[in-house]
């Protein structure tokens, strides 16, 4: 399975020389197995997605949730305007509104000039919850996790490898923070022994003290989570939009000086490709 990082930033795109190395586009990742692609989230990084060389009429986009930084690239994705394409969008269900209704609020004036009903592609929407489903060679599990609004994480199994995608996540809420009892940790079953975990790490431990309950994780908690879940590799995701490349390098250097009992972690960087096979 080949993993391609198209967008790593949280909340809002941050273009400029100060963020050019790690990247300024919001969440988007592609997975490729046997010329079949999955697109994880539709942030501004979606504009960088190139479809596989082998022609295909079907495209699958898996949305963890509908916050703006995860859907703002949809209206600029060329396949939605291609009448030969069949585009499937999978996203967490709501107790009050259908996926169609919620996406229509974005893909319509005054927020966007084109109505969703006028898109020329064949658009198929899937409301998911704690679900299991298959797309081509991929076996996928979605589970609700802690984040404001209906939000899921994805566990994607290819032929021989597993990717866990948890870009917006707060593992536990309470006076003592994250605990070590696996059954009480949000998202544990998604990350369990994954080959690669892409996980929210927007804050430093110091910053997180002032952001408890906002739905995001500290880097230290992300490392602890990865260690408990026994993942092979962790990539920090959802970088704070105010964080420069230089600041990330300083933070990374300080983290590496600590003994967490888990060493295989790094900051996700826009444009990198990882071949898990």
Angstrom distance (rounded) from CA 222 to CA 112 = 35
Instruction: Report the half-sphere exposure of 195 (CA within 13 A, side-chain side).
Output: 15
pLDDT surpassing 90 at residue 175: no
Q: Are strands 28-33 and 36-40 parallel, antiparallel or unpaired?
A: antiparallel
Determine the average pLDDT of the residues in 14-29.
Answer: 96
Ranking 17-21, 116-120, 154-158, 172-176 by mean pLDDT, the lowest is 172-176
pLDDT surpassing 80 at residue 87: yes
Determine the average pLDDT of the residues in 4-14.
Answer: 97
- Count CB-CB contacts under 10 A for residue 96: 8
Match domain 2-256 to its CATH number in 3.60.15.10, 3.20.20.70, 3.30.300.30, 2.30.30.100. Answer: 3.60.15.10
pLDDT in tens, 177-234: 667 677 778 999 999 999 999 999 999 999 998 998 899 999 999 999 999 999 999 9
The pLDDT value given to residue 173: 66
Determine the average pLDDT of the residues in 124-135.
Answer: 97
Q: Cα torsion at 213, 219, 221, 223 (round to 10°)?
A: 150
Q: How is the chain split into domains, by residue range?
A: 2-256
pLDDT surpassing 90 at residue 276: yes
pLDDT in tens, 42-57: 999 999 999 988 878 9
The pLDDT value given to residue 183: 78
Q: Are strands 122-128 and 86-92 parallel, antiparallel or unpaired?
A: parallel
Determine the average pLDDT of the residues in 103-130.
Answer: 94
pLDDT in tens, 141-158: 999 999 999 999 999 999
Q: DSSP assignment, residue 9?
A: B
């Amino acid at each position: 399975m080949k993993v391609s990082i198209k967008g790593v930033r949280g909340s809002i795109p941050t273009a400029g020389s100060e963020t050019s190395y790690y990247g300024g586009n919001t969440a988007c990742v592609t997975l490729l197995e046997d010329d079949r692609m999955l697109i994880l989230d539709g942030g501004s990084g979606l504009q960088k997605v190139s479809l596989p060389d082998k022609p295909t009429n079907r495209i699958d986009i898996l949305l963890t949730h509908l916050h703006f930084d995860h859907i703002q690239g949809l209206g600029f994705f060329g396949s939605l305007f291609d009448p030969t394409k069949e585009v499937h969008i999978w996203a967490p269900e709501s107790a009050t509104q259908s996926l169609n209704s919620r996406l229509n609020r974005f893909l319509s004036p005054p927020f966007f000039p084109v109505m969703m009903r006028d898109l020329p592609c064949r658009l198929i929407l899937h409301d998911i919850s704690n679900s299991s489903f298959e797309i081509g060679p991929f076996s996928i599990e979605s589970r609700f996790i802690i984040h404001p609004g209906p939000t899921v994480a994805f566990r994607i199994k290819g032929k021989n490898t597993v990717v866990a995608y948890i870009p917006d996540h707060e593992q536990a809420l309470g006076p003592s923070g994250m605990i070590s009892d696996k059954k009480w940790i949000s998202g544990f079953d998604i990350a369990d022994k994954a080959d690669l975990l892409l996980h929210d790490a927007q804050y430093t431990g110091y910053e997180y003290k002032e952001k408890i309950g906002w739905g995001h994780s500290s880097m230290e908690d992300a490392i602890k989570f990865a260690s408990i879940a026994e993942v092979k590799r962790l990539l920090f995701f959802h970088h704070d939009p105010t964080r420069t490349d230089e600041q990330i390098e300083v933070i990374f250097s300080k983290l590496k000086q600590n003994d967490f009992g888990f060493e295989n972690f790094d900051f996700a960087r826009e444009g990198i490709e990882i071949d898990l096979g």
